[in-house]
Amino acid sequence: MRTPCIAGNWKLHTNPADAGKLVRELRDVIGAPEGVEVLVFPPFLSVGAAVDAAQGSPVGVGTQDIYHEESGAFTGEVAPGMALAAGCSHTLIGHSERRTYFGETNGSVRMKVDACIKAGLKAIVCVGETLEQRENKTTFEVISDQVRTALEGLNAASLSDLMIAYEPVWAIGTGKTATPEQADEVHVFIRNLVDELHGKDAAGAMRILYGGSVKPDNVDGLMACEHIDGALVGGASLKADSFARIVQFSR
Ligand code: PGA
């Protein structure tokens, strides 16, 4: 059985004080949820406050991006070992906003995946097609390139430290969610790809999250799909009540 994971991507929101407050509110509302992993991804400078506020709770903390080197002359970057030392368990890699605004490529995503595995930082690798790609009917080609480049040739044991988030770019922050059928179709495709690359066991164990305008009122329909193992939530993760409702999804 794959333990569902509900992850909040706070993007460029929450200063340290806000992040600490939001984690404390979240702990109060979710209590000790059974059978679900809960993660939040604050901006780098707010990670420390979130980690302090999450001590002794089921909420895990991660970074929104990471660099592929452990140290050196790389102004502005943060290394996997530093994220671990700051109390993070996870990082996001290759979010579409990083790809669109900051030049992230499939190649740089792979370097980050390798660096995280080496350091022992768990990662959620984000993939997804743009509206243009969906309309051109190249969704599966795009997803295939993204997933293959990220996972091909990895040692099967390290796959357990990875999750994949399918986030159609046209659904992020737009209020347009993929229907459960549209999302599940791509999730099945991704699982089959993991099977092709790493075999049945790895494919069966890989958690594939959906992201893109997940809200309290659509989470249950999405989570009802067999191959949707959780959600990566942007806007609706910034309020403790709405994020808590998503954590308390029913299947
Ligand atoms: P959204 O963002 O929930 O605000 O659409 C999702 C994401 O970017 O991870």
Summarize pLDDT for 142-188 with one digit per residue, the tens: 999 999 999 999 998 899 999 999 999 999 988 888 899 999 999 99
Q: For tokens 């992230």, what's the residue?
A: 104
pLDDT average, residue stretch 56-65: 97
How far does the centroid of ligand 1 lie from the alpha carbon of residue 233, in Å? Answer: 5
Which atom of ligand 1 approaches the CA of 233 most closely? 3
pLDDT average, residue stretch 210-233: 97
Burial of 61 (0-12, 13-18, 19+ CB in 10 A): buried
pLDDT average, residue stretch 97-110: 98
Active site residues: 95, 167
Q: How many helices (H) and strands (E) does the chain have?
A: 11, 8
Task: List the residue whose alpha carbon is closest to atom 7 of ligand 1.
Answer: 234
Give the pLDDT confidence score for residue 177 in this predicted structure. Answer: 85
Give the pLDDT confidence score for residue 156 in this predicted structure. Answer: 84
- Residue 40 and residue 81: Cα distance in Å, rounded? 18
- Residue 251 and residue 75: Cα distance in Å, rounded? 45
Q: Is-above-0.75 flag for pTM?
A: yes
Which atom of ligand 1 approaches the CA of 174 most closely? 5
Contact of 32 with 41, CB cutoff 8 Å: no
pLDDT average, residue stretch 28-44: 96
Contact of 45 with 85, CB cutoff 8 Å: no
User: Can you say whether the dihedral through the CA atoms of 22, 55, 93, 207 is positive or negative?
Assistant: negative
- For residue 138, pLDDT over 90 is answered with yes
How far does the centroid of ligand 1 lie from the alpha carbon of residue 73, in Å? Answer: 32
Which atom of ligand 1 approaches the CA of 9 most closely? 9
Closest CA to 131 of 188, 176, 83: 176
How far does the centroid of ligand 1 lie from the alpha carbon of residue 72, in Å? Answer: 32
Report the chain's C-alpha Rg in angstroms.
Answer: 17
Q: Cβ(212) to ligand 1 under 6 A?
A: yes
How far does the centroid of ligand 1 lie from the alpha carbon of residue 147, in Å? Answer: 19
Give the pLDDT confidence score for residue 251 in this predicted structure. Answer: 81
Q: Cβ(214) to ligand 1 under 6 A?
A: yes
Q: Cβ(6) to ligand 1 under 6 A?
A: no
Q: Cβ(9) to ligand 1 under 6 A?
A: yes
How far does the centroid of ligand 1 lie from the alpha carbon of residue 173, in Å? Answer: 5
Task: List the residue whose alpha carbon is closest to atom 6 of ligand 1.
Answer: 234
Which atom of ligand 1 approaches the CA of 215 most closely? 3
